[in-house]
C-alpha cells in the first residue's frame, strides 16, 4: 500500500513560513523544504511496514528526548541556592504581612477574616491589596534584589531571573501564611 504525500509550504499572515507534508492519514510540519521533499518521496515509495518502522523510531526518539528533559535534576548547588532564596522570600513576605495590622487597624478580626476569605476566593481586589516585594532600594533600609542575592548566595549575575521567580513566589506564600496565622490569633478557631 502506497501513501499519497505532498510537500506544502505555507506563508502565514504574520510572515512565518511553515513547511509541511499532507498525506492520506493527515498532515504534519517539517523543518525545511529539503526535509519535506525527502519525506514526501519516502512516503510516496514506502511500504506500510517502512512507515510503521519510521513512526516507531520517531516516537521512541521523542520519548527519549522528552524524558531526558523532564528528568534533568538541578545540581546540589542550584537546589541549595533555591532553598536559601525561598526561605528569604517567605521570611520577607511574613514580615511585610505583619505590618498590615497594627494598633490603628479598626475591626482587626473582621479585616483579617476579609483578607482570608478574599485569598480563598481569589478576589482580585484583595489580592491586589496584599504586599508585594519592594526591591527598588527607595528607602535607606530597603534592599535591592542585588543586595538580597549578595547577602544570601554571594553572587548576582544577569539579574538571577530564576531565583527572582522563586523569591517572589515565596514572598507571596509568606504573606498569605502570615495573614492566616494572624487570623487564627485574632479569631481563634476561624
Q: What is the pLDDT of residue 73?
A: 72
Reported as a single tens digit per residue, the pLDDT across 95-113 is: 999 999 887 888 999 999 9
Q: Are 5 and 22 in contact (CB under 8 A)?
A: yes
Q: What is the 3-state secondary structure (H, E, C) of 117-172?
A: HHHHHCCHHHHHHCCCCCCECCCCCCCEHHHHHHHHHCCCCHHHHHHHHHHHHHHH
What pLDDT shows up at residue 74? 78
Does residue 35 carry a pLDDT above 90?
no
64-101 pLDDT, tens digit per residue, is 777 766 666 778 898 999 999 999 999 999 999 999 98
pLDDT at residue 10 tops 70:
yes
pLDDT of amino acid 81: 94
Is the model's pLDDT at 182 over the cut of 80?
yes
pLDDT digits (tens, 9 = 90+) for 40-58: 777 777 776 766 777 677 7
104-142 residues labelled b (16+ CB within 10 A) or e (exposed): eeeebbebbeebbebbeeeeeebeeebbebebeeeeeee
Amino acid at each position: 500500500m502506497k501513501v499519497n504525500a505532498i510537500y506544502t509550504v505555507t506563508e502565514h499572515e504574520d510572515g512565518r513560513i511553515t513547511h509541511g507534508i499532507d498525506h492520506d492519514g493527515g498532515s504534519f510540519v517539517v523543518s525545511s523544504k529539503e526535509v519535506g521533499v525527502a519525506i514526501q518521496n519516502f512516503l510516496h515509495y514506502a511500504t506500510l511496514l517502512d512507515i510503521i518502522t519510521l513512526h516507531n523510531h520517531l516516537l521512541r526518539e521523542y520519548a527519549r528526548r522528552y524524558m531526558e528533559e523532564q528528568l534533568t535534576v538541578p545540581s546540589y548547588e542550584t537546589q541549595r541556592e533555591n532553598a536559601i532564596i525561598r526561605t528569604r522570600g517567605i521570611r520577607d513576605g511574613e514580615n511585610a504581612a505583619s505590618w498590615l495590622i497594627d494598633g490603628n487597624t479598626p475591626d482587626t478580626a473582621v479585616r483579617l477574616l476579609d483578607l482570608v476569605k478574599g485569598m480563598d476566593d481569589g478576589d482580585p481586589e484583595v489580592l491586589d491589596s496584599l504586599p508585594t516585594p519592594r526591591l527598588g532600594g527607595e528607602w535607606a533600609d530597603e534592599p535591592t534584589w542585588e543586595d538580597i542575592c549578595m547577602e544570601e548566595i554571594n553572587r548576582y549575575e544577569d539579574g538571577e531571573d530564576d531565583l527572582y521567580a522563586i523569591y517572589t513566589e515565596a514572598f507571596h506564600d509568606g504573606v498569605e501564611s502570615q495573614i492566616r496565622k494572624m487570623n487564627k490569633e485574632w479569631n481563634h478557631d476561624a
